[in-house]
Structures are given as structure tokens and as C-alpha cells.
Amino acid sequence: MGREIKFSLLYRDMWQSMGKYVPRVDQLVKVAPAIIDMGCFRRVETNGGGFEQINLLFGENPNKAVRDWTQPFNDVGIQTHMLERALNAIRMNPVPADVRELMFKVKKKQGTDISRSFCGLNDPRNLENSIKFAKKGGMISQASLSLTYSKVHTVEYYSKLAEKLIELGADEICIKDMAGIGRPVFVGRIVKNIKKRHPKIIVQYHGHSGPGFSVASTLEAVRAGADYIDVSMEPLSWGTGHADLITIQAMLKDAGYKVPDINMKAYMEVRAMTQEFIDDFLGYYINPKNHFMNSLLIGPGLPGGMMGSLMADLENNLKSINKSLKKQGRPELNQDGLLIELFNEVAYIWPKLGYPPLVTPFSQYVKNVALFNVMQMSKGKKRWSMIDDNTWDMLTGRSGKLIGEVAPELIAMAKKQGKEFYTGVPQDLYPNDLHVYKKEMQDKGWDFGQDDEELLELAMHPQQYRNYKSGKAKADFEADIKKRKATKTEVKTDKISTSNTMNFAPKTLNVDVNGEKFVVKVDYDGSQKPANTELKEEKTFKKPENAKEIIAPLEGKFFLTKDNTETAIKVGDIIKEGDLIGYIESMKVYNAISADCSGKVIEIVVQSGAEIEEDDVLIFVE
């Protein structure tokens, strides 16, 4: 019998790589005993990433969720691990050092054993605090190599990065192949180099299955010395997710490695409960295309986690683009057509943006710029006409050092807009601010929570936490799911239920009856088109005489300011063309909106925080 290989179940990432949400805490607690009974997992990924934000969006207390969900695994000695984004911690933008340090202390107290830390730019300066704070908080520090494949991302580059992270004190190394584009031999060589220098360092391989390399990459990683393999399971394996436990276990067993047996009765219980959660409400946020592997992903290299949320949101982007194309008398796109346009644009702009590894949040930035370019060019506008502040921070060094060179045209744009390039330590740009949130909690009479965990949530996710406390988050979520359930027809086949937005039920069935074969056509509604009873509410208002309109360039939530350091425009203000008038939160980033005309503000049409659509009037000026 060969070397022992251990498995880790990605029960958080399974969901977020397929769709928008993860199960509620009551569902997680329900499935935990069956996961334990499967008897084959030494580790389970329980939280981190967007987990806490999703709890807040549900109107759930994220701290109770983490404690209740990790407890069963803690009780039986299964290690739990979380995912965190270095400078960005567990959100999409930079986090002050004092908040980052509190996070590790709180998460350990809540029952999380291992912190898997990654920097989306692979900048060791951003990971240094993660390693230090995790160990100080009593956690195992697992530092990640955010894997991607390009002429600058070589085996030598990743081998040196691993060496630096171990030098900084990392206890373990994760090969984080978030897009699954790491070619098998490439992955194996990286692992081999790490193990040759540091044979006692634990190496864990994490690979998404999208482009199809991950099973072969797993075998190469194990042959090279990897100790742990991340796996998924039905009905959320493959596609934009990860390879299935059963496949990986069988492959490694055949290759002569010592692998744990799987309690298949428990496996089927977990499988059934996971499907039950999909049928309950989570399936309304899963696109059917996320279940399929797609070799087209090799080109753009977009990660599985991002593709899951992208496919959930792409419908609105398609409507926006087709609206513009229709006005111009040009042929409209279908979703596949838009995906190809998007993939081609990502491949074109990625080198120009400095080759950031395509992992959260930088994969979102690259995807957003590509999508904005496609949208703007569909309207006859130029490429690069909309770049969000987060992307500019990446390009100018405020998020870390890019491995590649930024294109001269973007450098010229930055200088024209007065943006300065930064070469210092990114953390220094974001001063400690925990005291600000302590004061807010004291002023509002809010409980700091066990181990200051409620304080952490406010400091980490300020607006989402406020919405949770006010009840707005829960009301908004319940309204959204009610709307989705009311406008979608359920389709059930073999106890697997999906909505028509996720209709991957077959259109024909091959049926064998007592040895006689029949081909049966399945037509659920006579047209194969999803029912859509949703009525669009028309926005009506009176345009002031001689007024000029500033309209929304995309859909999302409109905000007059991004934070309390900014001053909102008001009626009576004089604005010039190019002045900042607000932001639209769309695709996980705040997009600065500039005035396209000059004049006096005579009316602000939409309230800050309101949902708006493309071409909605935001402001009237004269």
C-alpha cells in the first residue's frame, strides 16, 4: 500500500462555485452529521470567502452560523478550514490591519482550525500579516499559490513564491488552481519543487473542474507529494465546481495510494439533503450551464467561483447589451454569444492589465472591465470607457504588485485622471479603524458579541451588517426569493427539482421497457420556453423644462457616496462635465459615475441605495 492521501470536503465552495448563495445555518447543521458519517474526510471547508456576507444577506447572524456549523466537526476531530483574501480578508476590498487581526482571533474562537490565505496578486507583502495574525490567533496558517497559466506565471515563479511564504512562517501550502487551468505536469512540477526543499510541509491541492484538467492534475499533484486533496460531491461536483470525491478516491486507490473508504449510505444522505436545499430555494440562484464542463474556459482562465455568480447575473447584462444593439439595428446576442464575446475580451485585456492572477477579487475586476468594454462597444463607445475604482487601485499598485506591465494606454489614462502609482506596502494605505466601529456600536447600544465577533462583522461588512440589524437584509432577500418562485415554473425529474431558469432536464428520454427500447420526447410546456409572468414596473416622472438628463450607464444600486468620507452632491450644486456624481454598485464593485454635461443640479431623481436599471435618469441639471 502506498502513501496515505487525505480528503477535504469543500462544502462552502461547492455552493459558491455553482451559484450565488450557501445554505442557511439550519440546513448546514442538518447535513453535518451525515458528512461526518461518510468517514472519509479529515478536513471540511466550513466558512470564509463570502460566507459571512451571505448570512447577512439572508438576515442570519453569521457568527451563530459559523459556531453552529463548525461545532460538530470540532467535536469529532475533523479539522475545519476557512478561505481568506489577505489584504481583503473576507470581503472584496482592502481591510485595515486591526480588523484583519481581530478576524483570525474570532474565527479561531468560533471553531475554525485552518486559515487558507491567498493574495489575488500573489504579493507576499499582503500575505505576511495573514500568516502572522493566523498563528498569533492560534490557527494553522496555510498560504496559497493563486495558480494561473501564462508566459509570466512559470513553475520557477510559483516555486520561488512558495519558498518566500514558507520563509514568512506559513505552516502549509495550498496549490489553489481556482480556474482549473493549471496543466497537470505544470502542477506536478510545482508540488515536486516544494516537497524537494520542504518534505515535511503539508501541501493541499485545490482544483476546479471547469476546463477538464483537474482529475489529471490531482494525480500529478499526488505523485509529486501532495498530502491533501480538495473534493466536491454530487449534486454540486464537476462543472464550475470541483472533481467528485468518488472519482478521485477510485483513481488514487487504483494508483496504489492509501485512501479512506466512503460510507456510501451516508454519501447518499448528504447528496439527498444537498438536493433538498437546492429544491428549497438555492436552486433559483444556480444556472444550469454551471453543471457543465467547458474547455472554452482554458482561454480566458476565469475561475469557477466567479463563473458561478457570473452566470447567475449575466441575464441582466445580456438584456442591456441587446437593448443597445436593437436600437442600432444590429443582431442581438444570445447568452452563448455574449460568453464568447466576454471570453475573447478577457483574453485581450488580461496582458494589458498586468496579468493579475484570475482569482477573487481580481478575476472580478478583469471580468468586469471586459464586460463593460463589451457593453460600451455595443453602444458605439470606446474600449476602457468605464473602469471602476477597484480596478484602478489594482493597476496603480494600491492592492499589491502586478507581475506584468500595465499597458501604456492605461498608464496614460491614469495620469490624465490624476491617479498616482504606488510602490509601497499596500497595508500602509489603509489605517486602523476598529475604533470607529466601536464608537458606532456604543452609540447605537449594540452588543459587541462573544469575543468581539459582532464588532468584527460591522467592521468587516459595514453596510451589510447595518442592513442585517435593521431587518432590511432579510426583507429584501425574502422579497427576492418570493419573486423568483412566483415567476418560475418548477420542473421535477427523478426527485431532482429545478426552476426553468435551471432547466437541465432532458428533452428526450431513451426508455427500456422489458427489453424493448423507446425514444420518448419530453415537452414540459409545449414550447420549451420558460414561463415569465414578471411585470416590469415603468418609472414615470415629469422632466423639468429645459433640463438635461444624466442617465445610468448600467444597472445596479445607485449611491451618492461610497463611504462617509465623501460629500454627496445636492440640489443647487454646480457640476462640470466629468465630475463625480455618485456610484453604481454592480457586479460586486462600486463604479464611479461621472457627469456627461455641466450645469446646476435641479433634481436628484433616485434615492441613494435605490435599485436602478440602465438608462434610468439619475439627475436633472440646467
Q: Do 247 and 341 have their domain in common? A: no
Please give the Cα distance from 323 to 379 (Å, whole number): 9
Q: Do 60 and 133 have their domain in common? A: yes
How confident is the model over 258-278, as pLDDT tens digits? Answer: 999 999 999 999 999 999 999
Q: Does residue 472 belong to any structural domain of this protein?
A: no
Q: Do 459 and 594 have their domain in common? A: no
Q: Which of 400, 425, 450 is the last residue of a domain?
A: 425
How high is the pLDDT of residue 494? 39
Please give the Cα distance from 614 to 622 (Å, whole number): 22
How confident is the model over 288-305, as pLDDT tens digits? Answer: 888 888 787 777 676 655
Beta bridge partners of 612: 556
Q: Do 275 and 304 have their domain in common? A: no
Q: Do 58 and 139 have their domain in common? A: yes
- Grid cell locating 401: 504588485
Task: Give pairs for 424-428: CB < 8 Å, separation 24+.
Answer: 425/125, 426/87, 426/94, 426/123, 426/125, 426/126, 426/397, 426/398, 426/399, 426/400, 427/87, 427/94, 427/97, 427/125, 427/126, 427/129
Please give the Cα distance from 588 to 591 (Å, whole number): 9
| Of residues 252, 251, 246, 288, the one with CA closest to residue 271 | 246
- Residues of the chain scoring pLDDT < 70: 300, 302-316, 488-542, 563-565, 587-588
- Check if the beta carbon of residue 37 is closer than 8 Å to that of residue 269: yes
| Of residues 115, 255, 240, the one with CA closest to residue 181 | 240
Q: Do 324 and 234 have their domain in common? A: no
Please give the Cα distance from 62 to 371 (Å, whole number): 32
- Check if the beta carbon of residue 73 is closer than 8 Å to that of residue 80: yes
Q: Does residue 483 belong to any structural domain of this protein?
A: no
Q: Spell out a b/e string for 52-83, using b for 16 or more CB atoms within 10 Å of the CB, else e.
A: bbbbbbbbbbbbebbbbbbebbbeeebbbbbb
Pairing verdict, β 140-146 and 114-117 = parallel
How high is the pLDDT of residue 337? 79
pTM as predicted: 0.80
Beta bridge partners of 589: 586
Q: Does residue 536 belong to any structural domain of this protein?
A: no
Please give the Cα distance from 132 to 236 (Å, whole number): 34
Q: Which of 369, 397, 425 is the last residue of a domain?
A: 425
Q: Do 153 and 209 have their domain in common? A: yes
Residue carrying C-alpha cell 428520454: 509
Please give the Cα distance from 17 to 238 (Å, whole number): 10
CATH of the domain at 198: 3.20.20.70
Please give the Cα distance from 514 to 41 (Å, whole number): 41
Q: Which of 286, 303, 330 is the last residue of a domain?
A: 286
The total of structural domains in the chain comes to 5
Q: Do 100 and 200 have their domain in common? A: yes
What ranges make up the beta strands (E) of 224-326? 228-231
How high is the pLDDT of residue 303? 65
Q: Does residue 554 belong to any structural domain of this protein?
A: yes
Q: Do 271 and 125 have their domain in common? A: yes
Residue carrying C-alpha cell 476590498: 93
Tally of residues, the chain: 622
Q: Does residue 532 belong to any structural domain of this protein?
A: no
| Of residues 550, 534, 487, 182, the one with CA closest to residue 358 | 182
Q: Do 92 and 217 have their domain in common? A: yes
| Of residues 619, 620, 621, the one with CA closest to residue 608 | 619
How high is the pLDDT of residue 309? 56
Q: Does residue 329 belong to any structural domain of this protein?
A: yes
Q: Do 457 and 511 have their domain in common? A: no
3-state secondary structure of 542: coil
Q: Does residue 538 belong to any structural domain of this protein?
A: no
Query: What backbone phi and psi angles, to 5 degrees, belong to 491?
Result: -120, 125
Domain around 498: 489-521
Q: Do 242 and 308 have their domain in common? A: no
* Phi-psi sector, 135: left (phi>0), alpha (psi -120 to 50), beta: alpha
Q: Does residue 479 belong to any structural domain of this protein?
A: no
- Check if the beta carbon of residue 584 is closer than 8 Å to that of residue 558: yes
3-state secondary structure of 434: helix
Query: What backbone phi and psi angles, to 5 degrees, belong to 487?
Result: -105, 5
